[in-house]
Structures are given as structure tokens and as C-alpha cells.
Structure 1
Amino acid sequence: MGSRLLNIQRRTAEHGRLRTGYTQGNRPVRSATWVITSHSEEHVRTAATLWGGEPEQWSPLNSTTPQWRVITKAASIEALITPGDPLNQYNEMWSKGGCQRRCDGETELLSRQPCLCARQFGDDWHTQPKGRVCSTTSRLNVMLPDLSGMGMWRAETHSFYAASEWGGMVDMVLAGTDGRGFVPVTLRIEPRQVVRDGNTKKFPVVVVELRGVTPRQALSGPMSAAVALDPAGSQAVAAIEAPRPDYLALAEAALSSDDVRDVWRQAREAGHVHPKGTDELSKKLMALAAQKDAETVVAPVPGPDEDGAYEAEVIEDDAEAGWPAVATPGSGARS
């Protein structure tokens, strides 16, 4: 692999946006289906073929640069969460002059002051009319596997209620995959309503759901790209249906610490332990290996033969890359 510049952040190109609304003239309109926008006519026409709708040229508000968009007929689309952390969230206030406020919920980052909205309106500041306070803005970068190009598409929502759901979902996935590998998801626009002060308010919320895989599979470690691209395929079905071996039972029945290490290698190849051995199962297997070493009977050192010579000792180096070193006194671990 070649080298990379260390002083810049690496990222893929952004192909376009996934929106839950559009504009008619200067009037914003909510959409019950996805709106795909891009500078690329090819991407938008392909999206129209996949999800319906008529491609058209379009210019965003306050912009003279033309783009392409299609108001699809699909309320849900298939996507991939890519390696790394795909989500960023801020409370933001924008004007024609650009971003006026960007807050992480505690500190307004442009002025370095405590949250201005909470200070003025209290904990329920988000119930204030739009434009008076910040909008809760969540941006999720995903890949659309059925469109050409290896770039990202940005799904954006200003829903206060979607923010916690997106954060919880993405954080659970990252906890299981450590930010490595792809995860198949469905982005679905779901109608919601809330009753406040006797009034019923209806609004759309974007829901992020696992697609074609179970929570057990998604949280057990990074899955292969082949499974993520085709979660309903034979490889994914085999991965879901195959029972997980009882590695601890296999290690306890092992005759030597080397056999325990072989069990750990099997678990590593199956993706059931962390390659660096930092997970709980690896630690238990390391403890069992040390116990097997301690139980090993040390053979007496042979003396010299009749000519005064000692038998040569052959030391095999079986160190396995990835098996964590265990420095336990009396364990007999080899270096």
C-alpha cells in the first residue's frame, strides 16, 4: 500500500444528499418519500430508475448553481454504514450570512459560551418556533451500494426526536464493530405525531434500521464486505445460522497451552475475538493457557552422556502474530 499525507484528514467524495423535503419556489415542502439531489445527472437518473420519480434540474435556495434532483416514490432505501464514525450532530442556527451558532448541547462552539438556547429558554428550548432557536441537526454519511461511484451520500435531519435515535443506533453499531467494516442498514421515513399543549403535530422522522442481519451478527464484530453487500445471500445466511462454538469449553478440554492458543486462533479467524486480545473471551483464554502451563510437569534436565556432552535442545519459535503475550510468573510462557 502506498503512503498517505499525515497532516490532512482522509475522506471520500460526497456525491449528493438524501433529503426529506424539497422546495416549490421559495416554499419548503415536507416529503413522505426520499428526495435525492446531486450535481451528477447520472446519479439522479439511476436513483429515479431504482426508486421512481422524474429527474429534473433544480437550484437550492440562495444558490445559483444548478443541480439535479428526483422526488422518489420510496419511503425507504438501502444503504451501508461505512468504516469510521459516520454521524455528526450539532444544534445549529443559519442565516444568509452562514452558520451563526453551532452548539454541542453544552457549549456554543463559535463564541465558546454556554448553550445560548438553553440559557434563554430552558431545557425545553427545542419547542420554540423555528428561527428563534437552533435546529437540532444530524448528518449521517452512508454509501448507496446500487449507485455508481465510491463516494458518500449525506442524509440530514433537523428532527429533535430523530437525533437521539440516530445517535443510539450508530453508537451500538460502533460498539460492536469498533468502527471497522460495513453495516447494511435501511433508511426509512416514518410518520410521527406528538401532542403538545392540546395540539397534535405531525412530522416525518428518519429511522435507521439494520437490514438483513440480526443484532447478534451486527454486534459480534466487523462483517465481511460480501455479507454487508448481500445480507440475504448464502454467506450471510450461513454466518447467521452457524452456531458459535463454545471456545471456553474447548480450551478447558485442551491438553496444553498450545492447544488453547489454537482455540484462540480459531475464534480470531471467525471474528469472535478482538485481534489484539483486548476482549473478555481472549482474556479468559489467556488465563486458561497460563493455567495449562502451570500444570505442566517439568521433566528433569538430563545429565551429560559418558563423553561429558549434553543433548542439544531444539527450541521452536511458534509465536503467533496477534496472540497477546502473557507475562505470568511460573506460567512457562515462551518468548
Structure 2
Amino acid sequence: MTMGSRLLNIQRRAAEHGRLRTGYTQGNRPVRSATWVVTSHSEEHVRAAAELWGGEVEQWTPLNSNIAQWRVITKASSIEALITPGDPLNQYNEMWSAGGCQRRCDGETELLSRQSCLCARQFGEDWHTQPKGRVCSATSRFNVMLPDLSGMGMWRAETHSFYAASEWGGMVDMVLAGTDGKGFVPVTLRIEPRQVVRDGKTKKFPVVVVELRGVTPRQALAGPMSTAMALDPSGTRAVAALEAPRPDYLALAAGALHVDDVGDVYRDANAAGHLNDELVAALSKRAEELKAEAAKKASPGGSTEQVPDEDGAYPAEVVDEPSSTSWPAVAQAGSSN
């Protein structure tokens, strides 16, 4: 196929359909969720997600925004997704306020001020253990495609987990090393509850885990896989789509007891696309045989011997009893035996 021209000075990317979140807001209070929260400006996309993963669709307005969106708090803690060609992961240490992004750091250099990492300089290498708002949050944005939802756009999963940032980077880099950023890779996004004990206190939190789905590391690292395999790594959908076993139309016709039964076999074969000249000839022959048998039985010289039907029953003649117009002798007045 010959491709049309593309602008070389802009990055090509698919539209973003919505977000995959691990929390939601009740009023002004943030709430963690053990299941995925799907949000989008498109009601159609959110309703499709609700049909797949459960939950009630509702309108929702994000904090610090007056633009309403749609969301569903699903019942699924894991969902199927595809890593698309290119690098799907973007990571920075960020600090935000009502005025926008105040810091964006790559772990060594704060990019807005062009200074060395401010958090590490102030709090040391364990700066991430400081309370939220005092230091940057490890922000990871992971763009995936959801193959069972409508549209060809991307969905962004975002987490501020320090642990997820480390695991996502390792997982994606291994996949990119094997595929060179080409082709699709099937994955599962799973919300996993975890806990750590620090300074004698137990802290529980969810971490989004990215796992290969339906393929082995050998397959994922052997180079770009076909799109068909990425869409159906287990092959179950291909098996379900295989043609059903072809009925034995000749046997069905041989067991027919009436010409109409042969006609039903003909119509079924035609609807299934199995009709050919040989089958038409065989069905026509069987229909003529049944017509001849019916004509022989109906003719005056035909056999009068009764034969059982397919259920083993013999036809019986029903004789109506004549209606009585007089009382029986034993019931008439003055009669005696």
C-alpha cells in the first residue's frame, strides 16, 4: 500500500479517549478505589466500559474544573489492554498547585528551573517518604488501547505511586527492548493492594501492576508480534469463529418421511452456503422417491398393508358410535329381564 504524505515536523499520535483512574472524588474529598474508574468526555465510551466491567454511569465534574464528564466506578480490578507502537510511558517527579505545574523533574534535574533535583537536595534519597505536598509526586502516565471499547484512540492510566513508577519503567523497557517499539503487545492492568511497615506504622495502598497477557516472555521479547496475535493471544476467539461442522445433508434427506422434510433440508443447506449441484441432484432424487411412495399408497391398487410410523404406532380407524334415539330395553318402563 502506498502511504500518503505526512507532516514531518509534528508528532503523530492517536486521540485520547479518556482516563483510567484508581480513585475518585466525593465532593472535595479524594477516595481510593480497589477497582478501575473510567472517565471520559464521551458518554458512549463510558457506557461501553460499564457493560464490560460493571458499575453505574454518572456525570461527573473534576475538581478545579467546570466541564462535566462521564465516569463509571467499575467492578473490575483488572482490565485487558494493548501497548501500542512507540514508547507508551512518560514519567516525571511533579509538584502541582492551583496555578499549574510548579516542578517537573527527571530525577536529577528540575526542568523548569534547570536546577538539580530540589527534593533530593532538601530531604535526601528517601525524599519520597515525605508527606504529599511537601515534595514532588512520582507521576507515571501510561497510554494504552482498550481493544474492546469503541474508537481507535488511547486511554491514559496515571499513577502517583513511587513503587508503580519503578515497576512500570522496568516492564515497559523490557518490552521495548524486545519489540523495538514496533507492534502491539497484550497486557493486563491490575490494581493490587499492598502494604509497607515504616517507622512502626503499617501503610496500605494500591499499586497498578502491568503484566503480559496470554504470551510468554519468550514471545514478547522475540520481536514484534502480529496484530492478530496481540488482539487474541490465547486463540480462543479464533477457535470460536471457526466454521461449525457441516451437517450430513444426505443422511437428513434419507431419513425424511415427506417431501416437505426434504425441502427443509434444501433450505438449511442453502442458508448455510453449502448447496452445490451434487447436493441439489441428491435432494431432488430423494424428493421424487417420496412422491412416488406417496402416489403408490394413494392408488387403488396400492398396498393396503399398514406399516408403523416413525414412532412405531400403527394408524387406527376411528368409528363414531351411533347416537341412541330410544332407551335401552332394560331401562324402559314396564320392561323386565
Taking structure 2 as the reference length, what is the TM-score of the superposition? 0.69
The corresponding residue for 2:292 is none
The corresponding residue for 2:117 is 115
What 5-or-longer segments of structure 1 have no aligned partner?
A: 238-335
**Percent identity of equivalent pairs:** 90
Q: Specify which of 69, 72, 75 is matched with residue 74 of structure 2.
A: 72
The whole-number CA distance in structure 2 between the counterparts of 1:8 and 1:176 is: 27
1:173 alignment partner, SS class: helix
1:161 alignment partner, SS class: helix
> Judging changes above 3 Å, is the alpha-carbon distance between structure 1 residues 3 and 22 closer, same or farther for their aligned structure 2 residues?
same
2:140 alignment partner, SS class: strand
The corresponding residue for 2:20 is 18
1:201-220 aligned within 5 A: 201-220=203-222
The corresponding residue for 2:252 is none
> Judging changes above 3 Å, is the alpha-carbon distance between structure 1 residues 36 and 234 closer, same or farther for their aligned structure 2 residues?
closer
1:7 CA displacement? 1.1
1:168 alignment partner, SS class: helix
The corresponding residue for 2:187 is 185
1:10 alignment partner, SS class: coil
1:276-287 aligned within 5 A: none
Residues 227, 236 of structure 1: 8 Å contact kept: no
Q: Residue deviations 1:187-209, cap 9 Å, x none? A: 00000000000000000000000
> Judging changes above 3 Å, is the alpha-carbon distance between structure 1 residues 157 and 202 closer, same or farther for their aligned structure 2 residues?
same
1:163 alignment partner, SS class: helix
The whole-number CA distance in structure 2 between the counterparts of 1:88 and 1:100 is: 18
The whole-number CA distance in structure 2 between the counterparts of 1:128 and 1:148 is: 41
The whole-number CA distance in structure 1 between the counterparts of 2:53 and 2:14 is: 24
Q: Which structure has the bigger radius of gyration?
A: 2
1:123 alignment partner, SS class: coil
1:157-236 aligned within 5 A: 157-233=159-235
1:36 CA displacement? 0.1
The corresponding residue for 1:333 is none
> Judging changes above 3 Å, is the alpha-carbon distance between structure 1 residues 223 and 146 closer, same or farther for their aligned structure 2 residues?
same
What letter matches 2:154 in structure 1?
M
The whole-number CA distance in structure 2 between the counterparts of 1:109 and 1:44 is: 36
1:164 alignment partner, SS class: helix
1:101 alignment partner, SS class: strand
What letter matches 1:51 in structure 2?
W
1:248-263 aligned within 5 A: none
> Judging changes above 3 Å, is the alpha-carbon distance between structure 1 residues 236 and 119 closer, same or farther for their aligned structure 2 residues?
farther
Q: Residue deviations 1:271-291, cap 9 Å, x none? A: xxxxxxxxxxxxxxxxxxxxx
Residues 140, 156 of structure 1: 8 Å contact kept: yes
1:1-335 aligned within 5 A: 1-233=3-235
Question: Structure 1: which 4+ aligned runs deviate by more than 6 Å?
Answer: 234-237
Q: Residue deviations 1:237-265, cap 9 Å, x none? A: 9xxxxxxxxxxxxxxxxxxxxxxxxxxxx
Q: Residue deviations 1:122-146, cap 9 Å, x none? A: 0000000000000000000000000
The whole-number CA distance in structure 2 between the counterparts of 1:197 and 1:35 is: 32
The whole-number CA distance in structure 1 between the counterparts of 2:118 and 2:34 is: 33
The corresponding residue for 2:309 is none
